[in-house]
Structure formats: structure tokens, C-alpha cells
Structure 1
């Protein structure tokens, strides 16, 4: 096992900006090549269907891939099928080539449902599978609704629930989405037979899934909130054994950050990038050696997974408040972290209003001590990020909040993007 490395907080921040393709943002190749580079780096990207400012995976990619459009990821998912939907840290998009390493997710769901919902609704299960075998793709709206059953957050139409359960168990897959409507088909029609037949040993699958967490974040530790480790095995002891195997195999290297508690880990293949970050910081160079850029990060972007680490390393407090009652929110409904260079400088709540043709920024919150108008290069970078989001949303105008400071910012932005 490699010796523990020690780095400064400034090096940690620079390294994370570099390895997240945010120094500068939107610097990857355009289109398919850039999207697949992100998946190669992160292993998976969380999926969330809410589309206030863009779906979560769209926002992750928009921050990194120039001229990104949602149709590009949809084509990789539903036409080429080089990506697919499964559960990693929550519902995620994963390279189809990695399907064997995620079989455990299907297998555990299948085992649980065979003695539960599939037995309780055996006739409907058989009816749906026979219909799909005979007629092909099927969604819950293609069959008359049945009586609702208890299902996760609330009672749900039986047809929709059973189709979802069959997909969770790896019997069906998502052939495509039309808005939030899922169209299902048999997995054997969607994925190559050799991938479906391959079954690595369970401990190896869990080790692979654990490694995807370190690949996605870049500097994860061993603790933090439980949601970071969802799906990586039954408990902390088991996960610790898999982590020890990754260390022994030389896949990850232990790192400590000066002044921060606990040991963290870097993927071994990124040690050269860590050295580059150290050199840049020592030389006083800007992130990536170029003019800093601004990016609006997705609420489930891997960089913001570990909220305690965000507070410790950046002094930045972030919580996605979409499920927090309005009266209890500190910021807003769908607020995104705002990164400039290798620092978090604020929060922004953009909403795409296609009917009115406007990207509405309904809230801006700057970090204490940060002056957007007095910070060299920020307004240019902020205007560019707004324009990227405007074009992604397919709208013509940008509207900022009607506060004195925001009016001054808006005037500067208009000079740059109209």
C-alpha cells in the first residue's frame, strides 16, 4: 500500500477543479467525445427528472462539455445505448460496458421482489411481460390503470409500479423516455447477450461500485453522510474491507489535507494531476493556467456530494432544498452552487421559462467577502455561464433579480451578451 500523501487545502481545491474538468469549465471536446470523457472519469452520473434549470445529468455535462444539448445524452442512452439507467448512488446513468459490474443491483432487487410484490401481483406481472414479448415497447399509459398500491413515497397505479419493479429487477429496461414517461422493453432486446451473461463475483462488483465513488468525487474520505455510500455494500465494515482491497491493489492512494480531519483517497491514475495542481499553486498560476471560468453546478454534481468536506475545504455550505418545505428553506427551491476558478463564490437559482423565452434568475446569493463587481474577470465569466445556460434552455433572454446589486450586474452582463 502506498504511503499517505499530505497536501495543502489550496492544492486540494486546485486538484478538484482540474480533475472535474472545471479549470476552465466547458473545456472538453464538443459532443459525444466530451460526454463520454465525463463518464469515463466519473463512472456514473446521477439522474433526476426534475427540469427546473435542466435535469441533473444535463447540468453536470453542461458545466463541462461545450455546446451541450440534452438530445446528445438522450441519443447515447436510447439510440446508441452506450449508456443506461441503473442504481449506483441513487438512480444513475452508467456506461453500458460496465453493466456486469452493476448486476448486483438487479439481483438484490429481484430477490426482494420475487418474494414480495411479484408474488402479490403475479397475474399482472405475467400479463405485462406477455404483452411486451408480443407487442414490444410498453409504458404504463398503454394499459388501463389498476387500483393503486403502496409504493415508495405514495400510492401508485399498479401498472406503473409493477413496470418499475420489473426494471429495478433487471427484467425490463428503459427503451426510451418521453418527458417523464418511461417506455420499457425486455433487457435482452436492449443489451448485448454477452454483457447480460457476465457475472463477476459479488465482492468484486461492490469493489467496482466503491471505486466509482472515488472516481466521481476525486477526494472522498471514509465517512460523510450515508447517501454518499448507497449501494456499495452491507455496512461500514464490509465497505472498509473493499476499500482495503482497493488500497492493496494500488487503485487508490491515501491523502490527508492540512488542517482537515480524516484520511481521504485519490485514484492512483490521477497522481500526476495532483502534482500539476501543486505546481500551479506554488507558481501562483490561475486554475488550468488560463483565465478562470464560472460554472453553475448540478445539485447532485459529484463535487458537492460530501457537504461536510465542502464546508471544511471551501467554507461553503450547500443543501439542495427541493424537498425542504418553502418556509424552512435558507435559499430557494432549485439552487445551484456557483463556482469561479477553484472557489465557490455563491449560489444561483436559474429557471428556464420556455413559454416566455426567458432564463429567469430568481435568486443570487454571494459568499461573504465576495464582490462580483470588484473581482477581476468574474463578470465576464458569469456572463458567459449565463449565456451557455440560456442557449441550453433554448430561450432568447436572461433576467436577473430586481435588486440594486443585481441591476448593476445585469447592466454589465448585457454589455457582454445582450
Structure 2
């Protein structure tokens, strides 16, 4: 059986290159967004918006002159991308729609259990009512349809229509036509996706073929990944360690993935066979440029991996009480070359006001250089352009310089 051996430094370098973070903005325009998503399968969606939503932050670090309207256009105008469930709530290519039939079925079942637990199972009895309403009135916010409220005092949806349409979306009956801030405007999926795509049957002969496709896809979401429970294996099916172990063995036997051993680590890693060509790039150097990373960036999905490979401990603390936060509410890691060297907490930014940095923390192990400071300055210029901010507030520079 073929095996690849590499050092931690080589793995770190490969991951940065694979993720499109190793040279000045590796992807360009809408085609670049599609190419990146085709490489990694999906990017994670989260509605919190401090300096852009998670998906925007992922893309601004990779796509030249990125503007959030590029993603909006691909999602809700050209409809080449779609909101769906993969590794949690995510965005992926519409060409993958037929492949996710089993995920939609599992989401449907899970949503039914959640509704039952919350005392809102009545919501599924109104599917036909919601469907008829949309057929008559067109795409809608759930709030426009009044079919009653859920049981008083339970956590979750307040209106039955919200619970019903969320259930229909998870089941694949509805899709997202657009979003008004964070609210989904739903339409029937047949009004959003081409008939020829919806008519495509699930492209697997059996469940096992689907599992193999899905595990292989998830490895590609990171680049090289281990078979250790963690953030990279979140989601339906792939989170089952016993199933995953069986499927990885079969993929190895089929030559679809290659085993990777990393010096100094006991875990076994895997890479898709098609991606091994990128290992040739390890001989080239990585530009000493800076990137501000999304909290839920593909590179950061597995916090233990980040600690072991980048020597960087990171936790997203938005859901922690203030008293238990080590750093701050919404903190972005800073990549410089192939090292995570700092992190910062921005103020919420709106309009074209200067960007304000509440706090900046260099890693204690990192010796700050003039070259690194110049890279940070250049990165902030690009970041402020993405935000349409009038530069960086003067006092924020003093925090960075220390």
C-alpha cells in the first residue's frame, strides 16, 4: 500500500497551499469562488456579521477584490451555488444537489425529532398549506403565512409557519430564493433549480457508494486530514467513527485515497489520490503575506489539528459568557506565510467608517519583524477595501504595533 511521509512543517505548508492561502489571492472573481468551492466541497455559513459573515471572510482571504455581492449573485441570481446542509449549514455547488439526497432525508428525520422534542411536531401537518400558499403568492418569508404559533415557552420557532418551512427546507421541498439580512425567503425548489438537475437520480448504486463519496469529499474539504473525531468530521454519516473507519479502509484499497504519516504524530492522515499532484508544490516557497481568517474557515475546522500542526490554540468564544472568554467575542486568527502568528477582535463594522480593532494579540512564540508589520499593513488595506471601510482607525495601529 502506497504511503506518503512528511514533516509537520510540510503538512502545514501543504494545507496553506491547498486552501489557496499561499500566494496573492489565488482565485479571481465569480469563477474563482466556484473553483475554490469545487476544490473544498463547501464553505460553512454562519449568520453572525461583525466584519462580514463567515462565508464572506473565507472568500475575502482567497479571492482577489472579493465583494460579498459576488457570492450573493452566485447564490440568488445565477443560482450556481446553493444553501444546504453539509458540514453544518453550508454553501455548495448546485451540481452536488443529487448527491445530497441521503443528507436531506437524514435532515428531514432529525428535524422531525427536534420538532417533536420542542412540542412543535404539528408543523409537519401544514406542509401542503405552506406549499399551496407559495404556489399562489410566490416566494415568501415564513412570517407572511399565519397558521398559528408553537407551544408557548418552548425554545425554537415562534410561529408554526417558520417551523413548517424550515422542515420543508431541510427536506428539500423548499429552497432559499434570497435572504433579507438573515431571514430566508423560501420558494419551491422546482422554481429555483433546473428541471434537468432535479430529475437526476441519486448517482449511487447503494449506501456504501454514497459513504465513500462523502468521506472522500470531506477529506478534500481540508486537504489532508486524519481519522480522529473532530470538527472536520461534523455532520451526518461521516461523524460515525466506526462507519468512517470501514469506508477509509475501502477507499485505500480502491486507491481513491493515500495514507499519510506525519513525523511526530501518531495519527494516520489521508489525502485524495487526485490531490497528490499538489505535493509537488512543496518545493516552492510560500509568499510572506498576511491573511485574516474566518472563525469557521476550512483550515480551522479541527481545532486539535490546528494546535498540533500550527501550534495555535483557537476557540470561537461567541457563545461563551464574557467572564469565561480568554480573548473576545468575535476573534479572527492571522495567518502570515504558513504560520498563525496573531489574532484580533474587530468592532462591528457598518458603512464606510474606519475599521476599529478592539484588541490585538501576537503569539508569544512569534518574534515580530518589520517585514511582518508591512504584510499586516498591506492586508489591512485589502481588508478595509473589502469592508468599504475608510482605512484603519489610527489608535488600532498602536494596538498592533504594541
TM-score, normalisation: structure 1: 0.88
Instruction: Return the match for 1:174 from 161, 167, 176.
Output: 176
Equivalent residue for 2:299? 303
User: Against the structure 1 CA distance between its residues 182 and 12, is the aligned structure 2 distance closer, same or farther, given a 3 Å change threshold?
Assistant: same
Alpha-carbon distance in 2 for matches of 1:237, 1:15: 28
Distance 1:275 1:152 in 2: 55
Distance 2:140 2:87 in 1: 27
Preserved contact between residue 256 and residue 264 of structure 1 (Cα < 8 Å): yes
Whole-angstrom CA distance in 2 between matches of 1:139 and 1:23: 41
**2:6 aligned residue:** 7
**Aligned runs of 1:199-348 on 2, under 5 Å?**
199=202, 200=204, 201-225=206-230, 228-233=233-238, 235-277=240-282, 279-280=283-284, 286-287=285-286, 291-348=287-344
- Cα shift at 1:210: 1.7
| Distance of aligned partners of 1:400 and 1:272 in 2 relative to their CA distance in 1, 3 Å threshold | farther
- Give 2:54's aligned residue: 56
Q: 1:185 to 1:53 in 2, by over 3 A?
A: same
2-structure distance, mates of 1:150, 1:292: 56
Residues 238-280 of structure 1 deviation map (CA, whole Å, 9 limit, x = unaligned): 1222222322232221101111121101122222222321x23
Residue 146 to residue 399, structure 1, CA distance change in 2 (3 Å): farther
- Matched residue SS, 1:137: coil
Q: Distance in 2 between matches of 1:371 and 1:162?
A: 55
- Contact conserved, 2:229 with 2:239, CA < 8 A, in 1? no
Deviation, structure 1 residue 206: 2.8
State the Cα distance separating 1:121 from its structure 2 match.
3.2
Contact 1:44 1:212 in 2 (8 A): no
Unaligned runs of 5+ in 1: 281-285, 410-418
Indicate if the aligned counterparts of 1:207 and 1:232 stay in contact, CA closer than 8 A: no
Q: Is contact 1:206-1:242 (8 Å) kept?
A: yes
Go from structure 1 to structure 2 and tell me whether the alpha carbon gap of 1:123 and 1:253 turns closer, same or farther (over 3 Å shift).
closer
| Matched residue SS, 1:318 | coil
Matched residue of 1:230: which SS?
A: coil
Q: TM-score, normalised by structure 2?
A: 0.91
Deviations 1:46-68 (A, max 9, x none): 11111112111111110000110
8 Å Cα contact 2:257-2:271 kept in structure 1: yes
Contact 1:32–1:72, Cα closer than 8 Å, also in 2: yes
For the residue of structure 1 that corresponds to 2:224, the secondary structure is: coil
Give a deviation string over 1:2-48, Cα, whole Å, max 9, x none: 422110111111111111111124132x2111111111110111111
Structure 1 residues 271, 356: closer, same or farther in 2, change over 3 A?
closer
How many aligned positions are there? 395
CA 1:391 to 1:146, structure 2 compared with 1: closer, same or farther past 3 Å?
Answer: farther
Counterpart position of 1:80: 78
- Paired residues of 1:349 and 1:363 also in contact (CA < 8 A): yes
Aligned residue in 2 for 1:159: 161
Asked if 2 retains the 8 angstrom alpha-carbon contact of 1:151 and 1:161, the reply is no
Hey, what's the Cα distance between the residues in 1 that align with 2:221 and 2:128?
39
Report the CA distance shift for 1:205/1:66 in structure 2 as closer, same or farther (over 3 A). same
| Displacement after TM superposition at 1:151 (Å) | 10
SS at match of 2:373: helix
Contact 1:77 1:83 in 2 (8 A): yes
Task: Structure 2: state its 5+ residue gaps.
Answer: none
What is the aligned partner in structure 2 of residue 415 from structure 1?
none
Q: What is the SS of the residue equivalent to 2:236?
A: coil
Any conservation in 2 of the 1:25–1:63 contact (CA below 8 Å)? no
Alpha-carbon separation, structure 2, partners of 1:255 and 1:392 = 37
Give the distance between the partners of 1:141 and 1:193, measured in 2 at CA. Answer: 28
How has the CA–CA distance of structure 1 residues 265 and 49 changed in structure 2, closer, same or farther, with 3 Å as cutoff?
A: same
Deviation at 1:125, TM superposition (A): 2.5
